[in-house]
Amino acid sequence: MSLLIQKQGLSDTFQDLGRYGYQYLGVNPGGAMDTIAMRIANALVGNDPGEAVLEMYFPAAVILFEETVLVSLAGADFSAAIGEKEIPVCHPVLVHAGSVLHFRGRQKGARVYLAIQGGFQLSSWLNSCSTHLKTKTGGFQGRALQKNDRIIGKQKSPFRNHPTGNACEILHWQANVQAFYRKEALRFVAGEEYWLLQKASRHKLEDHPFHISRESDRMGFRIKGESLLLENPLEMISSAITRGTIQLLPDNQLIVLMADHQTTGGYPRIGHIISADFPTLAQMDSGSDFSLQQVTLSEAEAVFYQQELNLQQLQNACNFRLQEYLAT
C-alpha cells in the first residue's frame, strides 16, 4: 500500500504516543498533540492504539492513494473530501486506488489525524516513530511531509482486488467522541508552586477567562489573561515538567506545556491540566478562549480511568464491526 503527497500541508508529521523514558537524558516525549483522536483513528481501522498516524494542520496535504486501503480521520473537521464526496470524521472509509483526499476548509478543531489499516512504514528512534523535528529523526525522514513524498504502508491491503466503482465507500459505523471532549472549563490540579501565588491570583485562575495567543506551538501554548502574582519574588532551579504543566512566566502570564515540551524548566509550576482534558486543549487553536477549574488528584484519576474505559469499549466495538465487515 502506498500514498503520494501531491501538495504539502502546513506542517504534517507522523506521530504516535511518544518516546517516554528518556527525559532524564533531555529527550522530550513528543507524540501526537491529541492522543485520543489518534487512538480513535486507529480503532476505526483495526490498528493497535499506539500505531503512528499522520497529524495534519490546516491547510493540510492533498493525498493520492495509489492502492485501495481502509482509512479513518479523527480529531478536527477540515471538510475532508474525495473528489466531490464529503468524508466525515470518525468513520472508517474504504478509499479506492487513484482517489485523492483533500481538505476544503477548517470547520472545527485544530488537528486532524489520518490512520490507515496496518499502519505506515516509518523510521523509529528510541522506541517511537514520532517525528522529532529538532533531531531530524523518527517518522518520515525526521521531517514534515513535502510534495512528492511517497509513504508506504506496513502491509498489503486486503482490498487490492475490491471492485472500484466509486472513489470511496463510507462504512456504516462511526465513533461517538462526545465523551472525550469537554465543553466546560479545563480542569487542573494544583502544582508545586501553586500556594506561592497571592490569594487574589489563585482566585483569578478560576474566575477569569484565558486566551491562547499566536505565540503557541507544539512546545507550549502561551496564555494571555489577568496578571498573576507571587507572594514574594522567587528564583528557582530547573525542575521536572511534563505535558500539561502550567508555568507562570516573568511577565505574569501563563504557558501550558504541550507535546514537544522541554524536560525541565525554571518557572513556577502553578498547576497541571489533567490528562483527560489534554484532547480538548489540543484541539484549540490560537485565538481560542477557555477557563480553568481546579480539581483534586483523586478526581483527576477517576476521570482518566473512565476515559480509558470508554476508549477500550470503543476499540472493542470497532474490532467487532470490522471483523463483521471483512467476513461479508
The mean pLDDT value for 136-162 works out to 87
The mean pLDDT value for 312-327 works out to 90
User: Can you give the residue range of the structural domain that contains 58?
Assistant: 2-18+32-175+313-327
Q: Within this chain, do residues 109 and 141 fall inside the same structural domain, yes or no?
A: yes
Check: CB of residue 246 under 8 Å from CB of residue 272.
Answer: yes
Spell out the SS3 assignment of 266-281: CCCEEEEECHHHHHHH
Domain count, the chain: 2
What share of the chain in percent tops pLDDT 90?
Answer: 87
d(CA 100, CA 174): 22
Strand partners, 139: 123
pLDDT 10s digits, 162-201: 655 677 899 988 999 999 999 999 999 999 999 999 999 9
Q: Within this chain, do residues 142 and 277 fall inside the same structural domain, yes or no?
A: no
Q: 64: buried, middle or exposed (CB in 10 Å: 19+, 13-18, 0-12)?
A: middle
Give the strands of the sheet with 289-290, arranged side by side.
Answer: 289-290, 210-212, 220-224, 254-257, 245-248, 269-273, 186-190, 292-294
Model confidence at 235, pLDDT cuts 50, 70, 90, reads confident
In a domain, 301, yes or no: no
The CATH number of whichever domain residue 268 belongs to comes to 2.40.100.10
Q: Within this chain, do residues 219 and 170 fall inside the same structural domain, yes or no?
A: no
pLDDT score recorded for residue 161:
57
The mean pLDDT value for 225-240 works out to 91
Q: Within this chain, do residues 237 and 109 fall inside the same structural domain, yes or no?
A: no
Model confidence at 29, pLDDT cuts 50, 70, 90, reads very high
Q: Within this chain, do residues 8 and 157 fall inside the same structural domain, yes or no?
A: yes
Least confident of 151-160, 234-243, 318-327: 151-160
Q: Within this chain, do residues 151 and 77 fall inside the same structural domain, yes or no?
A: yes
Q: Which residues contact 94 (CB under 8 A, 6 or more apart)?
A: 68, 69, 70, 71, 159, 162, 168, 169, 171
Q: Within this chain, do residues 56 and 164 fall inside the same structural domain, yes or no?
A: yes
Q: Within this chain, do residues 10 and 129 fall inside the same structural domain, yes or no?
A: yes
β-strands 186-190, 53-56 pairing: unpaired
The mean pLDDT value for 19-23 works out to 92
Average pLDDT in the chain: 93
In a domain, 68, yes or no: yes
pLDDT score recorded for residue 234:
85
Q: Within this chain, do residues 217 and 152 fall inside the same structural domain, yes or no?
A: no
In a domain, 115, yes or no: yes
Q: Within this chain, do residues 162 and 200 fall inside the same structural domain, yes or no?
A: no
Q: Within this chain, do residues 257 and 230 fall inside the same structural domain, yes or no?
A: yes
The mean pLDDT value for 24-35 works out to 94
pLDDT score recorded for residue 165:
62
Is residue 150 over pLDDT 80? Answer: yes
In a domain, 281, yes or no: yes
